[in-house]
Structure 1
Amino acid sequence: MSGRPEILFPLFADLETLPGIGPKTAQSFGQIGVETPRDILFSLPYSVVDRQKKDTIQGAEFPGVVTVEVIIGRHQPARNRGGAYRITVSDAQTDFQLVFFHGRSRYLEAQLPEGSRRVVSGKIELFDGAAQMVHPDHMLPVEEADSIPGFEPVYHLTQGVTQKTMFKAAQGALQRLPELAEWIDPSLQKSKAWPAWDTAMRLGHTPQSLEAVSAHDPARVRLAYDELLAHQLTLALARQTERKQRGLSSLGTGALQRRVLLALPYQPTNAQARSIDEIAKDMADPHRMNRLLQGDVGSGKTLVAFMALLVAVEAGGQGVLMAPTEILARQHLEGLQPLAETAGVVVEILTGRDKGKERGKKLAALARGDIHILVGTHAVFQSDVGFQDLRLAIVDEQHRFGVRQRLELAEKGQGADVLVMTATPIPRSLALAQYGDMDVSVLDEKPPGRKPVKTAVVNTERVGEVVGHLRRAISEGRQCYWVCPLVEESEVVDLVAAEERFKQLRAELGEGVVGLVHGQMPAAEKDAAMAAFQRGDTQVLVATTVIEVGVNVPNATIMVIERAEIFGLAQLHQLRGRVGRGSAESTCLLMYQAPLSENGRKRLEVLRESEDGFKISETDLQMRGAGDMIGTAQSGLPRFQIADLEQQSDLMEVAQSDARTLLAQDPGLQSERGKAARVLLWLMKQDQAIRLISVG
């Protein structure tokens, strides 16, 4: 499949081949990434104006658009420069005025001669009690009035492009629509009653009502589905390519796992048991595992991860657990150590701190296979680190860790299985958009014994009371986090805010009591401040959001978040999860600055009422939209032109299973439907996927 199929050539021609587009307009379009007729087609109108002809303007809603046939009456040119040129006109029942600013008499007398009949269409409004239409959008002789669409589509524009230009260009692009073979599964298309692709495109650009531009219109849904299907096909092809690489079959005996389960003071939750089972099955399979373990704060991911590592050890191999920072790596080690002792396996840590002889000893033990499980930071990537038989690589906190690192790590063990853990509950539709090439296990229950965190919403003005509350908690031997927001774009300003708060709390609570961590500090200082807090040397930790990932201080029972209204819901939920890890009652205080917007208030209420991260993230998605929620730029979340992940989230699941089924039946996309799907990939500019097919 060397190049773009010929049937698509007209859609990928120059913009200037469309009616009404010259070099200058083409340049304006280029600024918003519209470069071909295809791009015009995928810029669907977002609204529609009713221009159906009426007999009279009487009874119309003011201000509003009306299309009406009139007899042209008296012209009143402007009295002074820059004044209004007025023409009185009469429809079937009443008179009103057409108004033109900077109107030129010669032009207007030629266009609208007195006594002639014209059809005018434009926005009519009341001015001093009289109806007037300022600069009509259309004024045509009656016999030409058919060229005014009954419903006129309204497009998003950019500077230098008018609605008329856009409408004309879209109509021109529609003339070129090829008839393409159907790539959607026939039974799906039938059950949803979706139109064919070219019909859907025509309907999309000629909406006959406001409903027709909503996300639920069948033609729109079909076009959105095409976009999601192309995206999921790309991910499924990537997954297929990855799976072709030789994997290892690691069959656990269950002996070590049984020891650990017997020693646990509680039963694993159903979600934990199900996830352990899914992972073990994947590891036994000769294909390479590529699985995402999604668990809410405190859902017991550590146990699941450890069980997976034990499968690798039972099968005679080794496992590695990677964390983004040294603090988190040490924390994982502390969490795993007691479990490892029960199972009788050797766990060791490797970070950038290991130097010289010590490091040499660890590496030798690792290469001999004396170390069963290695916990570490990215230091485990260095070329001199070799395993005797690496079977499983677990990566903690996906978003700090790109696809490239996932592959690098897997290459340490030829074909080692990969498990990625994330503590960020992402709504299902976004998880599929972002991790569609992975299989997903979800921990959606909490193990017994975790106490709920009390959440209160407090006005910033009551900061004195909050400090008093901290003072009491400290006197009882408790610890507290105080999170300052990253408000400004510039880190310097935030820093001032965090340092001011730090000084103020230190003055109120005492010298050695308060520590400070922020993004600008050298890593070593940051680690030292965190470690001091973990040891209990400091009782209050003032921090910018660097603490949201993972730090575990069971004795910390209060979380204060300043300007909570500007954080994302998912982020607030993560921060709140830093407390409530011990046996004591914990509190989270969300401080806001009045006045709160309606939206801000709603978001804080959701947090106060729910501790279910998945529910919270669904709400976050509805309220803020996908791009905001994950920060589209860094998330690798694709930008869709038509599909709306908030309103059409169910479509993403259908697209994923459809794409995977199609590739399972037809891995090289050679069947009739497979060939149609190739055309779809070209149409959607999924060049990466097209390369994968030609390689595969």
Structure 2
Amino acid sequence: MLVTKIGTNTSSPPALHQSVQYLKGVGPRRSEIYGKLGIHTIRDMLFYFPRDYKDRSRVQKISEARIGSEITIFGRVLGVQTRTARSRKNILEVFVGDGTGSIAATWFNQPFLAKKFHVGNRVLLHGKVGAYKYLQVLSPEYEIIQDEEMNVKDGGILPVYPLTEHMSQGHFRKIMKDAVCHFAGAVDEILPTEIIRKNQLLSLRDAIANIHFPETPELLKQARFRLVYDELFTLEVAMALRKRGIQAETGISFKIGANVDAHIRKLIPFPLTNAQERVIREITEDMRGSKPMNRLLQGDVGSGKTVVAMYAILAAIANGYQTALMAPTEILAKQHFQTIQKYLLHSHVRTHVLIGDTNLRQRKDTLDRIKTGQVDLVVGTHALIEETVQFHRLGLVVIDEQHKFGVVQRLNLKKKGGAPDVLIMTATPIPRTLSLTLFGDLDFSLLDEMPPGRSPVKTLWITKEKELGSYRFIHDEIVKGRQVFIVYPLVEESESFDLKAAVTEAKRLQSEVFPSHRVGLLHGQMKSSDKDKVMADFKEKKYDILVSTVIIEVGIDIPNATVMVIVHAERFGLSQLHQLRGRIGRGSEQSYCLLFGNPTSSVSNERLKIMAMTSDGFKIAEMDFRLRGPGEFFGTRQHGLPELRISDLIKDFPILKKARSDAFELVSKDPQLTMETHIRIRERVLETFKDRLELMNI
């Protein structure tokens, strides 16, 4: 077993922080190539994990080859020849023998491979057995074993690493084997003995040895479990510390009694759903407490998050505090402002909007009013976090579509009050796995009920040959008095992309396809005042069709719009498609989402199938997460989440739950991690989050 070869701490831990150049076979020049992989130290090397494995424990003899079956063989190259078939195909044959027989590895029209094979090479081949005049293995996977130490039969399962150019698997394995044998014993065990025993974990040194050079599939499984557990445990300890830190702050104890509740409800002109009532109770309980609220409110598009947020805002204002609502775009900020203004028509609440294009005189006046406490609610964009914005008495911060903001931006807004309550809203459904990691320090509220009178949007995938028929359908909807969104991925045509663009297509649709209807155009490069005018005109039905880019993804509420067409739908992510679809279905009429798409990859094909199949935001988010992974799904880095080296948040959810439970239990017993058995955990958290510690305070 490989682990028995490892010395017991033959090197002190500082040895792990030496440059990788000191490993035998690396040196200063080659260490620069290793640096491209993020490997700078010996420790980095040990924690650079394989992306796959080749199981050589099932190597067969050539004499056992059967036509039509798959085989893995190991032997030496006996000869190399190329020939041309009658069909003019170039055929390369590499003859391999293992002492029990010989076989030809055969490739068609790949003559360049001939240079790779030389008589005497040791090779590993895997492929399907065929026959010509002799046995063949057709277009096999192959590996030339240049490393004499690496005996195939002894090696069993061989690691495959993600490498860059000028690196070979064989040479990298040799360096890794040397690193594991000499330095794995120097890696400190960070977990307390009781956690290792409770979860029956492999020791860390054995896990490192077996993740790189596993003796058996079972040891590989145990090694991976241990390393995934460590990674997620560190993350969840950080979350537990963060949550504890928030709870240690003294917040505002808002008084929200029957009188305040009755005054707020008078301003809401419709009955709330059971889900809204439940969430309002959760928020009210937080706001009454002495600890700052730190709650994530998640609800699909149209589930009524704004009304819930408004309840919290009015409760804070009733207690004499100021409130701030930050939205990611000017369109959404204005939409929130207009919606809330309608509700507050018969109240004394003083509201202001603060966005990038507010003119200087208005801006100065608004800033003065905020500073002197003459504004109760300010709705804005990133403009709210500028240094010039100073609050008199900020008590509640509401952040909408929070994933559109960087972590630092959210922190800057929170800092403008002492310890204000924070309510984060999102219409982007978050898979449970992500909510436990990215938002594991937040309390969680879910609006899982839609207001009455809304029927689900019907979604249809429209291939190229059906587009003309769809235009006739759109025409019929407009004749009924309805309106239509048509969304394109680009503003203007680009030589780099063979895609239709909004500006060109708006002209074509107006002149060639819908000459009797009125077509408007909206995109992000327009002046803010022009965007506002187009939106107001569309709302007032001066346009039948609004051609747009994804600028309408959030914040546009047109109940009369019943059709959403998304052109080149295969170019959009699932969550984005779901958000766009959420712009319609806001009235009582049946709405339709038409996905114009001709996918060229299996992933984009899968996306369109999922969209047509379900309107469940959580299913869509889970699928999106599976297809894209955490980094792309949510811009994970901006959340202060370290890059995961080995964990898969979907596949490893059971391990995540164990690690989370253990981490929170440990932090509750030792909130400062000062016990001797927890010092190394503390160091690991500090090291993992070294440049994110302030970000952890969101």
What does residue 439 of structure 1 align with?
443
Deviation string 1:435-484 (CA, Å, 9 cap, x unpaired) is 34433322222232222112122123333222222222222222110011
Bigger mean CA deviation after superposition, 121-130 or 477-486? 121-130
Distance (whole Å) between structure 1 residues aligned to residue 146 and residue 22 of structure 2: 28
Bigger mean CA deviation after superposition, 436-445 or 529-538? 436-445
Change (3 A) 1:692 1:608: closer
Given that 1:348 and 1:375 are in contact with CA atoms closer than 8 Å, whether structure 2 keeps it comes out as yes
What does residue 25 of structure 1 align with?
30
Stretches of structure 2 that go unaligned for 5 or more consecutive residues are 1-10, 84-90, 107-112
Bigger mean CA deviation after superposition, 55-64 or 561-570? 55-64
* Cα offset, 1:418, TM superposition: 2.0
Distance (whole Å) between structure 2 residues aligned to residue 366 and residue 144 of structure 1: 71
* Cα offset, 1:14, TM superposition: 1.7
Instruction: Determine which of 569, 590, 613 is the counterpart of 2:595.
Output: 590
Given that 1:11 and 1:177 are in contact with CA atoms closer than 8 Å, whether structure 2 keeps it comes out as no
- Matched letter for residue 154 of structure 1: V
- Matched letter for residue 528 of structure 1: K
In the superposition, the TM-score normalised over structure 2's length comes to: 0.83
Given that 1:47 and 1:154 are in contact with CA atoms closer than 8 Å, whether structure 2 keeps it comes out as yes
SS at 2:214 equivalent: coil
Instruction: Determine which of 312, 319, 323 is the counterpart of 1:315.
Output: 319
Aligned pairs for 1:35-434 within 5 A: 35-52=40-57, 56-60=61-65, 64-67=71-74, 91-92=99-100, 94-95=101-102, 122-123=124-125, 128-131=132-135, 137-138=144-145, 148-175=154-181, 176-178=183-185, 183-184=190-191, 189-209=196-216, 217-238=221-242, 246-261=250-265, 264=268, 267-341=271-345, 345-352=349-356, 354-355=358-359, 366=370, 369-381=373-385, 385-434=389-438
* Cα offset, 1:334, TM superposition: 2.8
Given that 1:293 and 1:421 are in contact with CA atoms closer than 8 Å, whether structure 2 keeps it comes out as yes
Distance (whole Å) between structure 2 residues aligned to residue 647 and residue 487 of structure 1: 38
- 2:575 is aligned with 1:573: no
SS at 1:49 equivalent: strand
Given that 1:483 and 1:544 are in contact with CA atoms closer than 8 Å, whether structure 2 keeps it comes out as yes
Distance (whole Å) between structure 2 residues aligned to residue 327 and residue 77 of structure 1: 68
What does residue 7 of structure 2 align with?
none
- 2:462 is aligned with 1:458: yes
- Matched letter for residue 150 of structure 1: G
Given that 2:493 and 2:500 are in contact with CA atoms closer than 8 Å, whether structure 1 keeps it comes out as no
Given that 2:490 and 2:500 are in contact with CA atoms closer than 8 Å, whether structure 1 keeps it comes out as no
Given that 1:90 and 1:96 are in contact with CA atoms closer than 8 Å, whether structure 2 keeps it comes out as no
Given that 1:241 and 1:692 are in contact with CA atoms closer than 8 Å, whether structure 2 keeps it comes out as no
Change (3 A) 1:521 1:234: same
What does residue 3 of structure 1 align with?
none
Distance (whole Å) between structure 2 residues aligned to residue 186 and residue 646 of structure 1: 28
Distance (whole Å) between structure 1 residues aligned to residue 314 and residue 502 of structure 2: 43
Given that 1:60 and 1:66 are in contact with CA atoms closer than 8 Å, whether structure 2 keeps it comes out as no
In the superposition, the TM-score normalised over structure 1's length comes to: 0.83
* Cα offset, 1:333, TM superposition: 2.5
Given that 2:301 and 2:579 are in contact with CA atoms closer than 8 Å, whether structure 1 keeps it comes out as yes
Distance (whole Å) between structure 2 residues aligned to residue 581 and residue 221 of structure 1: 46
Distance (whole Å) between structure 2 residues aligned to residue 387 and residue 140 of structure 1: 68
What does residue 115 of structure 1 align with?
none
Given that 1:288 and 1:418 are in contact with CA atoms closer than 8 Å, whether structure 2 keeps it comes out as yes
Bigger mean CA deviation after superposition, 121-130 or 523-532? 121-130
Distance (whole Å) between structure 1 residues aligned to residue 301 and residue 81 of structure 2: 71
RMSD: 4.1
* Cα offset, 1:78, TM superposition: 8.8
Distance (whole Å) between structure 1 residues aligned to residue 117 and residue 401 of structure 2: 67
* Cα offset, 1:591, TM superposition: 1.4
SS at 2:438 equivalent: helix
Given that 2:56 and 2:153 are in contact with CA atoms closer than 8 Å, whether structure 1 keeps it comes out as no
Bigger mean CA deviation after superposition, 672-681 or 640-649? 672-681
Distance (whole Å) between structure 2 residues aligned to residue 373 and residue 661 of structure 1: 39
What does residue 608 of structure 2 align with?
604
SS at 2:37 equivalent: coil
Distance (whole Å) between structure 2 residues aligned to residue 197 and residue 41 of structure 1: 11
Given that 1:558 and 1:586 are in contact with CA atoms closer than 8 Å, whether structure 2 keeps it comes out as yes
Given that 2:156 and 2:216 are in contact with CA atoms closer than 8 Å, whether structure 1 keeps it comes out as no
What does residue 521 of structure 2 align with?
516
Change (3 A) 1:638 1:539: farther
Given that 1:259 and 1:343 are in contact with CA atoms closer than 8 Å, whether structure 2 keeps it comes out as no
Bigger mean CA deviation after superposition, 264-273 or 462-471? 264-273
Instruction: Determine which of 564, 572, 578 is the counterpart of 2:569.
Output: 564
- Matched letter for residue 33 of structure 1: G
SS at 2:61 equivalent: coil
Instruction: Determine which of 478, 482, 506 is the counterpart of 1:478.
Output: 482
Deviation string 1:215-273 (CA, Å, 9 cap, x unpaired) is xx232122112122223334444555566555333232342323444675654334323
SS at 1:604 equivalent: helix
Bigger mean CA deviation after superposition, 335-344 or 566-575? 335-344
Change (3 A) 1:671 1:137: same
Distance (whole Å) between structure 1 residues aligned to residue 569 and residue 80 of structure 2: 59
What does residue 109 of structure 2 align with?
none
What does residue 505 of structure 2 align with?
501
Deviation string 1:251-308 (CA, Å, 9 cap, x unpaired) is 3234232344467565433432333233233333333333322221111101210111
Given that 1:460 and 1:562 are in contact with CA atoms closer than 8 Å, whether structure 2 keeps it comes out as no
- Matched letter for residue 36 of structure 1: T
Change (3 A) 1:349 1:623: closer
What does residue 688 of structure 1 align with?
691
Deviation string 1:564-593 (CA, Å, 9 cap, x unpaired) is 122211111100000011222211111122
Deviation string 1:80-114 (CA, Å, 9 cap, x unpaired) is 9xx9999985735x456899967999xx7xx89xx
* Cα offset, 1:56, TM superposition: 3.4
Change (3 A) 1:168 1:231: same
Deviation string 1:404-428 (CA, Å, 9 cap, x unpaired) is 2222222332222222222211212
Distance (whole Å) between structure 1 residues aligned to residue 443 and residue 325 of structure 2: 19
Distance (whole Å) between structure 1 residues aligned to residue 351 and residue 624 of structure 2: 39
Distance (whole Å) between structure 1 residues aligned to residue 80 and residue 331 of structure 2: 79
Given that 1:299 and 1:446 are in contact with CA atoms closer than 8 Å, whether structure 2 keeps it comes out as yes
* Cα offset, 1:561, TM superposition: 0.8
Instruction: Determine which of 613, 625, 635 is the counterpart of 2:617.
Output: 613
Distance (whole Å) between structure 1 residues aligned to residue 689 and residue 290 of structure 2: 29
Sequence identity (%): 37
Instruction: Determine which of 13, 35, 41 is the counterpart of 1:8.
Output: 13
Stretches of structure 1 that go unaligned for 5 or more consecutive residues are 1-5, 113-119
